[in-house]
Structure 1
Amino acid sequence: MGELVWISGISIIINLSTRSIHIANDQYPTGKLKAKEREILRILDKSPYQDRKDRNPDRINGTCEWFVGHELFKDWHENKSSASRTLWVSVDPGCGKSVLAKYLVDSILPTTESRTTCYFFFKDEFEDQRSVTIALCCILRQIFIQRRILLSDTILEQFEIAEGLTSSFSGLWNVLLSATAGEDASQIICILDAIDECEDQGRSQLADALRKLYSTDRNLNLKFLLTSRPYGEIRRDFQPFETPGFPTGPQLPSFAPRTCGSPTRLPVIHLSGESDVEMTKISLEIDTFIKVRVQDIGTRLKLRREEQDLLLQRLLHVPNRTYLWTHLILNLVESDINIDKTGIIKATSHLPKTVNDAYEKIISKSHDFEETKRLLHIVVVAARPLTLMEMSLALALKSNQRSYKDLELKSEDRFRVCVRDLCGLFVTIVNSRIYLLHQTAKEFLIQNDLTDLPKRIPRELKWKHSIRLLDSHRVLARLCIRHLLFAEFENNPLDKNAISQYTEDHPFLDYSAKNWATHVLESQMEANNTTSRSILRLCDASSKSCLTWLRIYWTCQNIDFSEQNFTSLMIASYFGLIAAMKYFLESGAPGLNSRDSTHGRSALSWAAGNGHKAAVEVLTNINWPRWGMGILYREKLQIDSVDRYGRTPLVYAVWNRNLAVIGLLLNSGARVDLEDKVGGTPLSYAICSENDSAVRLILKNGTKIAVGPKEGIIRSLLFSSTKKGDKDVVKLLLETGVADPDLEDTDGRTPLSWAVEGRKLLLKNGAQPDLSGGNGLTPLWRALERGNTVMVQLLLAAGGKTGSLYNPTPLSRATQKEDHKIVEPLLKDGRQPGLAEENKSPPALEKSETPLRSSIARIDIWEDSLNGRLNETSLGTYLGAGEDINRRFTARGYTPLMGAIIKGHLKLVKVLLENGADVNLRTGDSNNATALWLATSTPNINSVLIITELLHKRPDLNAICGRFGNTPLMQATLQTKNVRIVSKLVDEGADVDIKNYEGKTAKDFAYTNTRLLFALLPAEGRQLWRDAAAAHMEMLRPWMNKAKFSGAHTDA
């Protein structure tokens, strides 16, 4: 028996390590991607999806078997018919659905030659993990990385034509269907975890798309596996519906959702993990999990056998156990310093019976109730997780502080300890960002409605439902406002050409600038005199503080912006800040109907477009003083003021789909028949966006309007907008899915051909190809950045040049992007645009002939190391201009090599190393990290190859870095968890026995991961294992066959 266990262990290790290497080869394809392919992979990289998956722990052996052995899973997995493309798994909170999803991705359904597996883990606490469009971007990126052949010319053209495609659900969905339709796709499995944490609109879009997909006869190689909590809205989204040709009656599982009568069903298999049968199996697996965890704790704390047995018995005595409860309880027990037989009895005598009880006990240990509550107020409503330094600054802000100099900020390491002291296990810190431990932690804290009144909560649970979201938004709003009024932002305002550096140097500024107004609105705060004055100062368009935060805010919006003629009233109207709007109006400030210089839009247009009903009401009441404002204004509000595109506020309200705002404008006399420059009216846009409620509201207004057929309106707007280059209308039509991008007009021409023709006409009729915008970029430069070959050729024919003082020439930029289709017309062009002299080899960057270029170069070498644009030629230019390759940038003291490493730019890492970048320099922050430590701490697609390049330069393999004193090898076992990386470090001489400040070694971190333990063996040890496995393979195979025959699951 012992020999069989030993052989089984060998087989598991070899199976897992071989699989890991196979996956690694898939993730790090060899060969050279074309420039456009690389660009598409870059723009699809919207979220660190692998890191988010790996945040979940690995499953314990003996768990997740309830699912992988289930007949419904086997049927979905093995059945290749379209009748079982989607499997929906619903499981109660805390029962391990995310661990299961990770196990499926890594071990049960890994990518093979005949199958491509991709995934996305939704999470409510991450802004980028709530979006279904970001999920589709990540799914497509994984498909194209693993099956590069699927990134066809047709798909490349779709990305080139459709600007903003990555924010369009319908556009991305069509790309997915196109990519998976061919024979080259093999089988593609998409695993989407926790769809209940996806934003509601996106989840509905996904459900609708699946319904339409199943109602067709398309032969796709696409399957979905979805996990969620058993919520009613999820069940409604994935109810069966009538689909021709699919089986009914007894062929469906008995517990699949059904409809009345005997209609055909939606081909979605529902595996209900909350059913009694499955919950019994899950409970048994949780017992297994508890046994393994108790054994682990016993080993680390040197507990005797009887002490371990006692702890196990006490834990198993509690009913209704979940994985989450077990995790919380064992961490509470483990943190007790008196862990002996008496201590175990004492610690387990009053065990929390539920997860909520455990949460209460954890937070109640805090030594500072008010500071803890303040921190939790921030965490539960923050638009994104704050970093430790951002949170440190937020908690340090007091009402009398006016500058960074007034703050007493703790170091990151010290503040990390403070957070742990305040909240214990209730929050977790990942990559220096603060998160709640689990979604249920947020649900424990917040009051959702009046049913959560404190009197209904047991007296012993003082933290449960103790936080009102209104209060939390109020706390964060005041902190943001207080911070944005710091003296630095008025005395040393932001240079709009150095935003990233400025925000890096000023912690919490990026968050405050982008989110303060949202928190003000969400708080519904009644502004007192102090708050009102502060908001007015932030909305004062003439102040430098206002320009600072406003410029940062615009970087997260998908629209162009210039502060010129953007008035204080426009700012207040744009964000819906009613008190500020009334102040500016009542003070008689001019500009009620003023229009900004960029888009020509008025305050009313911005308020209507952003859906601020109260703001629109304030503005429209100006024309009706009897409605309560009591002041006669010197000028009347222009309800139908048109912008540079000919659009009225009503058009933008229709685009925003806000019926309340549409109604206000109609009641105020807004016209519904005014055409914009492409022929669109409010009514036609309501029809095209399939907004039936808006259509009825407009028609009810009483105006007699002749309405043509919907198809004709769509066709007319699509061709008109493409001919005139109106990308907003094109985007609206394509995103709603009502327009076919390959539609032909009566002459057989498509929208794309008209788009090219429109640009030809502009150039022919005197458009200046060299005219640059406020950022110094010419049309030729923009076309080059977007890889638009046709446009580059048109502009060259018209004499286009760079027109930019501080950017590379078009030819050098195309060379950097390795886009040969664009390099060719640039080389053929006789003027060689952008070159200082004729018949010279094109440099990637012109020599810095002016002080301005020299000063900008010092910023650009850092920016170029982050965005991957730096190459050998441009680096030579920087160095020739006096730049230091090891110069430190940002408050963290990062070098260009470090910047390239954390962004995963392999080629740039090579170039920097070849030109003398120092691999053993340390960062200037509290981590005191080396380049190798950073590479093992920030996993990405190129991690293996980057670390290989660093190892060639003989770095310090055992450098002690970070708060816990971890070595690069320890970080590799904790962060990348990549067998190839760990084994490479070991083979190069990394010490596996060195201890960090907590006395832990790399082996301790790899304790529960068999693959990593295998990789930590010396090379000769790994070979001995392989030889032993080969020698016993014949003995092992009959054992595995016997186990398979008896029904046991052996695919560990």
Structure 2
Amino acid sequence: MSKIQTEHSLRGETWIPEYIRNLGENYPHLAPKYVSIGDPEEIKIHYGMIASGCQVIKDAKLRDSINQQLGGQVLCLEMEAASLVGFPAVVIRGICDYADSNKNDDWQEYAAAAAAACATEFINRIEPAVAAEVSIMKEDFDRVIDEIAILRGNLSGDEEHNLIDQYSHNPKFGIAYIYLNFKGSAQLHIDDILSNILKQLVRTQASLPRCIKELYDRYKGSRPPRSDIMKSVYTISAGYSRVFIAVDAFDEYQDRSDFLEKLFEIHDHQNLNIFATSRPIPEIRREFKRRETYKECEIQASDEDVKQYLEGKILQLGTNVVKANKETIKDKISNLAQGMFLLAHLQFEAIKTAPTLRAVKKILSGFSNGGGTSNSAYDSTYRAIMEKIQGNSNKEIVDMAFKVLTWVTCASRRLNKAELQHAIAAEPEEPASLDRDNISDIDDLISPCLDLVTIDEKSNIVRLIHYTAQEYLEREKELWFLHPHSSIAKVCTIYLSYDVFKSGPCKSEEGLEERLGLNPLYRYATDNLGYHARESSCEEHSYCLEPGVDRCALQIGVPQHILNFLLDGDLRLACVQALFRLEWPGYLRCRKRADIDQMQALHVAACLGLARAAELLLARSGVDLEAKENEGKTPLLLAAESGQNDVVKVLIKNGANLEAKDNKYLRTPLYFAVLKNRDETTKLLVGYGADLAAECDIYSTPLEAAVAYECRGVVRFLVDRMVQMEIERVTRDVVLASALYGYEDVLKSMLKRGVDLKTMDDNIGRGQGLLWNALDGRHEGIVKLLVHIGVDPNERENDEKAKTPLIFAIKNGLESVVRLLVDKADLDAEANYLRTPLSVSVKKRRRDLVELLLEKGAHVTAPALSAAFENKDEDMVNLLLERKQDPEGADSWGNTLLHAAAGHGHEAAIRLLISEGANIQAERKSYQTPLLVAVEHISEVAVRLLVEANIKIGRDKSEVVQEVLFELMYRSPEAENIIDYLIEMGADLEGNSGQKALSIAEERDDEKMVEYLLKKGAHPAAGLLPWAALRGFESVVRLLIDKGVDLDDTGGYRGTGLFYAALKGHLSIVKALVEAGADLEASDNNGDTPLATSAQVYHRHAYDVVEFLLERGAHIETKNKCGETPLFIAARKGKAEIVGLLIQNGANLEALDNGHKTSLSIAAENGHESTVRLLVDKGANWETQDKNGKTPSELATGKGRTATVQFLTEMVN
């Protein structure tokens, strides 16, 4: 919309008249009302506010009023848009009634046509890929999901229609949506997507799951590792009966193979359904087809959709000859596009400026439908566009376009605008510095590329229009670009060799940040010089010997500019400083010169992967192969860490030490390769004989490091080699890694070799053994193997109260593992929160597992029955009660089945358990009997049953009733029904019991309970009135007044009820007490009366309270123990409004406190200027002196009250 608005403002042009004319031509019967009113050329488009409501506004004054209330910016008043509240939408309205007193129905049809034309213009500006994605997701999701999800049973039409809505709001189902696109997902790491899936699945939970809270606490401020994210996804998914993950435009994500692997991991371990949209990419289709439940549905835009899109584009942007032949062009392109909007867009861009019919025909003939395959159709389109770029008669523009395309296609990552501008501006002819006058405008750079290159407005990233363009240009790179990586590497080297970097590394982070900002290509060049230099070695070159060129370098194939750069110490270190920076948004850390000054040319060549340069350097005299940089790393260590395999080969062939160690943790090259997950480098080093059992100060072996850093490929390789070499001292690491990653074959071979896995497992720390590793990896076969050889199936996860393997398997939905463990595991083992295998199964609503556990001998205890109650699963409750072994079923905290039933108020269960002899006086650890648990949960039915049961076994009735009554007072204000029952049972609220109950309710500030007890006859104790007045409990105060309590009794409080009501500004209570006869002059222990205390407090009713008390005759000159009158107190607090009220009622302006200060003196001393002015205005003596002889002005001066002093000085003068 902003683009349209800008064009309208700049050019004053709109396509609305054209669209309206087309409407009249295509539908002549609409012309009289929809087309012919007014001059269509004078249509004005307004951008702004539309007021939408639920009814027609016909009243002229009301319309004007609404406009004024909304700042006078309302364009019109209408009703339709109100229904769009909450939806992201652009409202386009044909205005016939402006937001004033004018109303005109004659223009309605014409206004509707104008709005439709404007909407057409707007829609034609939307990117086709976006529109296509929206239609696919919206129109086909409901239709396809039931097939993808393999829904069971027959659904009626209504059920099918509401299927997704039902899943979205049903807590039994988890749903996550992932929308990918080429321009936005390039910066997305797979961990970002997995975290987002986890977030969406958690978001619908009623409360934050414990595993997520633990994850947050453990990694607060940083992202959790992928393994922990996946475990949390498993855990949360296991809590749903079904989980759906929808992924739109799978083909647009670059790291889709890794994402697919993780997605299907979740699919294989959980009850997961995947709905995905994608272009028909073979690798994606192949991965999905491996699943038995795979279903495929082809979705394609129609030719009419494409033609409608082209219609708008041609009318907007085409030349006259293009417009004249629009039907031919629409037919041809829609036929070629085969429903692919991107092709239609690209083909139109190539043809829109054609000046003649011959040119139109030539361009159209250059396109091909590729025999029906989308790839070849794209290829022919891109080839035609590239040929058109190449055919431009202006050689400079062609060169610039191909430079841009070279960088955008071959750069290792996407460049932003400034980076590309500097990359194109850097020239070999200017080796000292970048000529700023040579920097082109970004639009001038990309416009010759004929829409193949675009800019993301939000990120400023320059990219190709679509990933198919990237694929085509990479595939046909040799056809279109001459030595692209060589030219990019040369630009990077030239850029890094500018004079600005010859001072060497910066002295501070701030300096480096400034350098990075002033030289936009600096980041890219340091990070990627090595990449492009390595790639250029695959390109054929012909070098000639020129003055200043090293003959040896020429023979080995090292460009002279790279050799010169490596041998320049300051340039080299400036590059190293940027290369080793740690950088996040708002954060930059770098090494100083003293941290990197030992980095020699060979070290840098190793880091950057410059194998030929390393070979050249080693051929020169004086180069130390084992030289260590500042952290003690040799060139081989750096090459292994960076995964530069060609350099590793060169260094080892030249005699580099395979077991060299760094200074910090004594890590070898193999360690660094493993830590960085360099699969090929690891294999290379092991092939050269690197020690697999070498130890360092962090991990005992490289294998342990690989496991810790989740390097799966490396782990398997190291395990296989260690088993093959039979390195006995690393056997423990091998079997642990095998259990974690599912290498069942390795464990079996170890057993055949005689390795005692059970004894080894016994010596490993709790929760770190083989069985837990296998469970973490969800490897059923290994669990079965370990259980068979006798590994402890009851080993806790980390402490004696942590979950057992059986509980873990049930909680995570590993049914097959449950069935493996159930015969040997402790079926009644308790974990944290009293969880048992049975209670977790009940909580998960797994009746099959519940029946299995009961069949195998699991005991029905309180946690399991509580879980059934919480699920409101009556069938499960009945099953557990029927299969219980005894009526107690106590857990380790003493909770019995009767405790559980009482807490949930389940009448049938309580009756059954009591009838079967359950101990009704059993106490759990908190000394609560089932009766007290029923009271705690305010379960009337449970209280009634258990009170009667207690009486039946011989307990004193009054004792039982009193116990319940007092317990209720500590629990809830919602217990009136139970108290009524207790009264029926003989509870005496008028005696000591009632007083004690009242005092408990008073302690808890329970207004409703106090009120209820008073109404039921409880006798109020002393002090209840001040308590109620202080808290503003008016209904209680009035009840106490009606009961005739002493209104002036303090009951141990500081003052009376009236005092506290005045103190807190409870005006209605003040009035009630005064009208009932409360003493207006009853003072607190400081001598303050209700009038005095209300004069000094800050609350909204203070003035009203003072006014009321004065009206009722409160003494205005009563002094407290400090000799302060209400006027003095109000002046001290700066309460000018109340001061004025007291003076109006005759307060003495010159009354003295014990320090001989007047109200003016204390107001001046405290700097209350407005109060001082008021007192002086009312006649207060500004020359009065306190007992120390100080006037108000002097008191104010002593406290630094400048404004007050200035006022009083003016008065004196």
Q: Normalising by structure 2, what TM-score?
A: 0.43
Higher relative contact order (CA 8 A, sep 6+): 1
- What is the TM-score normalised by the length of structure 1? 0.49
Structure having the higher Rg:
2
